Amino acid sequence: MASPLEVSGSARVFEATVNIRLVDNAGKTIAEGFTTASEGAPGRGNFKYSLDFDAPAPGQGELEVFWTSPKDGKELDKVSIPVNW
């Protein structure tokens, strides 16, 4: 895996905001960002984001995609995908 990482999918999220984060196996954030889906909840919208990152030494981690609750800031409906770099 190399930078930039192209992330795409569909989501049903509040105000169409999709959060994207790359973490290493220790949980340290390597890169993060957000994008806007083509439609917000209650509809489902498509999204695409190019995540630039500086990879540490070869290793493993996770790509996390989620939305944040406007009520309390909790990360909701998180999807974690194992990755190698």
Domain count, the chain: 1
Question: Has residue 4 got a pLDDT over 80?
Answer: yes
Q: Which domain holds residue 65?
A: 5-84
| pLDDT tens-place string over residues 34-84 | 999 999 999 999 999 999 999 778 889 999 999 999 999 999 999 999 999
So what's the pLDDT on residue 84?
93
CATH of the domain at 19: 2.60.40.10
Partnered with residue 9 across adjacent β-strands are 47
